[in-house]
Amino acid sequence: MSYSPYVLKGQVALVTGGSSGIGEGAARCLAQAGAAVVINYHSDRAAAEQIVRDIISEGGAELAEGMPRAIAIGANVAKEEEVKAMFAQTIATFGTIDILVNNAGIQQDAAFVDMTLAQWNLVMNVNLTGQFLCAREAVKEFLRRGVKPDISCAAGKIICMSSVHQVIPWAGHVNYATSKGGLEMLMKSMAQELAPQKIRINSIAPGAIETQINTAAWSTPEMKAKLLQLIPAGRVGMPEDIGKAVVWLASDDSDYVNGTTLFVDGGMTLYPGFTKGG
């Protein structure tokens, strides 16, 4: 058995919320694995375009004639028409799409009694409805194209960015934890329905990863020490920790993995209070 350095050669991947944090890490890892990458951004066009330039200048796997190595597309994943336009532009540019990383997500934190309907709806619209809208467009294209055995033994792969909070309740963040809990069932039901068409859908549940979404939790030594008490591995995760898992779930190396959640959390879900025997 041998591993190709370009396990995703010839494939096209779209990463939502790809201009920062975990999405950026995933986009860079996918490109290093040989995929052409669409970096979706919401507001930070300059950051997305910088990542595109970096990916192009790094070079890598040979691409089909005239195919760009990376492009940036702005879209709000919670808006149906913007999502449709993003997929139309992707397919017009690359001919198809093979991998969707449904990564865009937000927090709008508040104590339960103070949480406004606007805070609740915004988190549901981005974290859950946004994943539904993007997955639906990707699946339409996967079904239209079907399997191309020289590219992948799947008709398409979707990786949903969940969180350890799909299983760990989170006081002060009920909208966020509920969106990730709901995402688990969205992912599993899609995987069950679409497996006969050779479409694989899985989630990654990150633990604490150093990104802008949770700066407050790791940016001072005091906060970091408190956070580390929750992580048996003894370190905060980095976007590449998630990017490497994305590449594996997107590749044929994980062909028999479908409808599951891969926890990439340094053991955060292992009841850390019991690390020294409880």
Residues serving a catalytic function are 176
Concatenate the DSSP letters of all residues of 94-130 into one string.
HS---EEEE---------GGG--HHHHHHHHIIIIIH
Q: How many CB atoms lie within 10 A of CB 85?
A: 15
* Torsion angles phi and psi, residue 158, rounded to 5: -125, 135
d(CA 250, CA 57): 23
Q: Which stretch binds ligand NAD (CB under 6 A): 53-61, 76-84, 137-145, 248-256?
A: 76-84
Instruction: Please report whether residue 246 would count as binding ligand NAD according to CB under 6 A.
Output: no
> What Cα–Cα distance (Å) separates residue 238 from each residue in 22, 136, 209?
8, 29, 5
From the number of C-beta atoms within 10 Å of its C-beta (0-12, 13-18, 19+), residue 35 rates as buried
Instruction: Please report whether residue 17 would count as binding ligand NAD according to CB under 6 A.
Output: yes
Q: Which stretch binds ligand NAD (CB under 6 A): 2-10, 97-105, 148-156, 189-197?
A: 97-105
d(CA 62, CA 67): 10
Instruction: Please report whether residue 124 would count as binding ligand NAD according to CB under 6 A.
Output: no
Instruction: Please report whether residue 28 would count as binding ligand NAD according to CB under 6 A.
Output: no
Q: How far is the CB of 39 from ligand NAD (least distance, A)?
A: 9
Instruction: Please report whether residue 77 would count as binding ligand NAD according to CB under 6 A.
Output: yes
Contacts of 269 (CB under 8 A, 6+ apart): 164, 167, 168, 205, 207, 263
Instruction: Please report whether residue 168 would count as binding ligand NAD according to CB under 6 A.
Output: no
By CB under 6 A, name the one of 21, 182, 243, 266 that touches ligand NAD: 21
d(CA 106, CA 236): 20
Residues 32-51 as x/- pattern, contact with ligand NAD by CB under 6 A: ----------x---------
Instruction: Please report whether residue 266 would count as binding ligand NAD according to CB under 6 A.
Output: no
Q: Which stretch binds ligand NAD (CB under 6 A): 1-9, 15-23, 58-66, 139-147?
A: 15-23
Q: Which residues of the chain form contacts with ligand NAD (CB under 6 A)?
A: 16-17, 19-23, 42, 76-78, 103-106, 126, 130, 161, 163, 206, 208-209, 211-214
